[in-house]
Amino acid sequence: MRTVITGGAGFIGSHLCERFLDRGDEVICVDNLITGTLENIEHLRRHDRFQFLRHDISHPLEIEGPVDNVLHFASPASPVDYLQVPIQTLKVGALGTHNMLGLAKRKNARFLLASTSEVYGDPLQHPQREDYWGNVNPIGVRACYDEAKRFAEAITMAYHRYHHLNTHICRIFNTFGPRMRLDDGRVLPNFMGQALRGEPLTVYGDGSQTRSFCYVDDLVEGVVRLLAVDFPEPVNLGNPHEVTILEFAKEILALSGSKSPIEYRPLPQDDPKLRQPDISRARNLLGWQPQIDRHEGLKRTLAYFQSRLQQTPRR
């Protein structure tokens, strides 16, 4: 099998490259390194079935030879990142998705879109099921990411219906693990970095907003299983175990042994108050549910961040 993975030098993308190599595929990793890093794939570049292409998929991409799978994971995914590059985020969600769908169509390949729980916005339904249409501010500060992914889902379904392309959509909820960036800006690297440096943990609002955290190995397993079935509609992939941000901060402090205080700051605009996946569809369709509990995943991730803090960051 020959598999193209866009965003392959990113956090989740690099784990996918590893997994598809391990199963025997030839992997073509495509990334413009706007948020990804070569460090994430350095251990793979010596592999004779691995190829790295530095390319912005907002521009057309040609791949010589056959392609069996196209996994489209390219996009800034953290508010810190996409608020700095909102136009590039919109372009990779719109033009990039169009280009990768076109590649899959030309090669008669399976296509899988990495969508996001952010398509649900600040949800009025809890937990969130795939048939929920969401509560999204289309002109808010986060809209560059939310609406890019909503458009990406729409054009993916259009290619499926009009061109009969074999497509898949995974809606990814909060995922964590090794190879996250300490400056990622999302809650887990924020808390772990602050705890390890002895800085105050910044909790926005009163900390009552909730998140659900899935370890990256579990997510990758769900993606692999989804690609193998013929089902074009969105599938939630995430851990349904919900925790408040304040509880999560205290959990990080206890795990790290840090004496850092908790510091409260105003809640950012359009920050979702609730986030919990209903994974009934994934259970029934894929026989999938998370296997690694949050505490074990956090221990592994903390060890990774501890090692990163002992090194000089480089991009």
Domain ranges of the chain: 2-176+214-239+276-292
CATH architecture, domain 2-176+214-239+276-292: 3-Layer(aba) Sandwich (3.40)
Choose the catalytic residue: 82, 120, 132, 145.
145
Report H helices in the chain: 11-22, 79-82, 86-91, 97-107, 143-163, 187-197, 216-227, 245-256, 280-286, 294-309
pLDDT recorded at residue 110: 98
pLDDT at 313 over 70: no
pLDDT recorded at residue 60: 96
pLDDT digits (tens, 9 = 90+) for 69-113: 999 999 999 888 999 999 999 999 999 999 999 999 999 999 999
Confidence of residue 184 (pLDDT cuts 50, 70, 90): confident
Q: Encoding tokens for residue 224?
A: 């692999």
Mean of pLDDT over the chain: 95
pLDDT at 310 over 90: no
pLDDT recorded at residue 271: 76
Token pair 């608020």 is found at 83
Residues 236-243 have a mean pLDDT of: 96
Strand 234-237 versus strand 201-204 pairing type: unpaired
pLDDT digits (tens, 9 = 90+) for 38-77: 999 999 999 999 999 999 999 999 999 999 999 999 999 9
pLDDT at 270 over 80: no
Token pair 């955290």 is found at 213
pLDDT recorded at residue 182: 87
Confidence of residue 235 (pLDDT cuts 50, 70, 90): very high
Confidence of residue 314 (pLDDT cuts 50, 70, 90): very low
pLDDT digits (tens, 9 = 90+) for 113-169: 999 999 999 999 999 999 999 999 999 999 999 999 999 999 999 999 999 999 999
Confidence of residue 311 (pLDDT cuts 50, 70, 90): confident
pLDDT recorded at residue 315: 40
Angstrom distance (rounded) from CA 255 to CA 214: 17
Q: Is 264 a residue of the active site?
A: no
pLDDT recorded at residue 272: 79
